[in-house]
Amino acid sequence: MAEQEASGLRVLLRTLQSSSDRESTLTILQVLGDLLSVGTDRRIRYMISKGGSEALLQTLVNTARTASPDYDILLPLFRLLAKVGLRDKKFGQKALELEALDVTLILAKKNLSHSQNLLHCLWALRVFAFSVTTGAMLGINGAMELLLKVITPYTQKSTRVIRAATEVLAALLKSKSNSRRAVNRGYVTILLRLHQDWHSHDTTNSYVLIRRALLLCLRHIANLRSGREAFLAAQGMEILFSTTQNCLDDKSLEPVISLVLQILRQCYPKSPLPLVTASSAYSFPVPGNITSEPPHVLTEDFEDDGEEEEDKDSDSEDVKEEDDDLETDVNKLSSKPGLDRPEEELMQYKAMCLELTCSFEELESKPGDGLNYDETQYANHLHILTAASPKGLCLNKDQISWGQEREVPVQTSLLSRVKMGRSNIHLTSKKGPGINPYQNAQSNGLGICSSGSEISDIQASFKEDAWDIDAISCPRISASFSNSTRPRETAELIDKLLQTHPTHIAFHDPYLYMAKARRTRSVSDFTMMAFPDFWGHCPPLSAQSMLERKCGVQRIRIFEDVRRLIQPSDIINKVVFSLDEPWPLQDTTSDCLRFFSKFESGNLRKAIQVRELEYDLLINADVNSTQHQQWFYFKVSGMRDAVPYRFNIINCEKANSQFNYGMQPTLYSVKEALLGRPAWVRTGYEICYYKNHYRQSAAITGAESGKCYYTLTFAVTFPHAEDVCYLAYHYPYTYTALMTHLDVLEKSVNPKQVYFRQEVLCQTLGGNSCPLVTITAMPESNTADHLEQLRQRPYQVITARVHPGESNASWVMKGTLEFLVSSDPVARLLRENFIFKIIPMLNPDGVINGNHRCSLRGEDLNRQWLSPSARLQPTIYHAKGLLHYLGSIGRRPMVFCDFHGHSQKRNVFLYGCSIKETLWQAGSTVGTSNLLEDVSYRTLPKILDKLAPAFTLSSCSFLVEKSRASTARVVVWREMGVSRSYTMESSYGGCNQGPYQGLQFGTSELEEMGSMFCLGLLILELKSVSCSRQLLTCAAALLNAEEESLDHHLQRCSSNSSVASELDDEPPCLEEIDYGTDSSSDQEGSVSKLDREIQECAFHKDEGEEEEEGPGQGRKAIP
Residues designated as active site = 985
Give bridge partners of residue 836 from the DSSP assignment.
775, 796
Burial of 1042 from C-beta contacts in 10 A (0-12 / 13-18 / 19+): middle
Burial of 243 from C-beta contacts in 10 A (0-12 / 13-18 / 19+): middle
Residue 797 CA neighbour count, 13 Å, CB half: 27
DSSP string of 166-229, one letter each residue: HHHHHHHTTSHHHHHHHHHTTHHHHHHHHHHHHHHH-TT-TTHHHHHHHHHHHHHHTTSHHHHH
Give the SS3 label for residue 456. helix
Distance of CA 296 to the CA centre of its chain: 27
Is there a contact between 698 and 303 (Cβ–Cβ < 8 Å)? Answer: yes
Dihedrals phi, psi of 77, to nearest 5 degrees: -65, -45
Degrees to nearest 5, angle at CA 401 with 808 and 406: 110
Residues in the chain: 1119
Residue 634 to residue 726: CA distance in whole angstroms: 6
Which residues, at least 6 apart from 1021, have a Cβ–Cβ distance to it below 8 Å? Answer: 833, 834, 894, 1027, 1031
Which of these, 623, 616, 675, 602, lies nearest to 649 by C-alpha position?
616
Is there a contact between 883 and 610 (Cβ–Cβ < 8 Å)? Answer: no
Which of these, 670, 668, 651, 659, lies nearest to 605 by C-alpha position?
651
CB count in 10 Å sphere of residue 204: 13
Q: Report the C-alpha dihedral over residues 528, 531, 532, 534, rounded to 10 degrees.
A: 70
Is there a contact between 330 and 926 (Cβ–Cβ < 8 Å)? Answer: yes
Residue 836 to residue 355: CA distance in whole angstroms: 11
Buried b (16+ CB within 10 A) or exposed e, 757-775: bbeebbebbbebbbbbbbb
Residue 1105 to residue 1095: CA distance in whole angstroms: 16
Burial of 30 from C-beta contacts in 10 A (0-12 / 13-18 / 19+): exposed
Residue 1059: its H or E element: helix 1043-1060
CB count in 10 Å sphere of residue 985: 24
Residue 1053 to residue 1061: CA distance in whole angstroms: 12
Give the SS3 label for residue 643. coil
Residue 913 to residue 937: CA distance in whole angstroms: 8
Give bridge partners of residue 271 from the DSSP assignment.
694
Dihedrals phi, psi of 882, to nearest 5 degrees: -60, -40
Which residues, at least 6 apart from 333, have a Cβ–Cβ distance to it below 8 Å? Answer: 327, 915, 918, 919, 960, 974
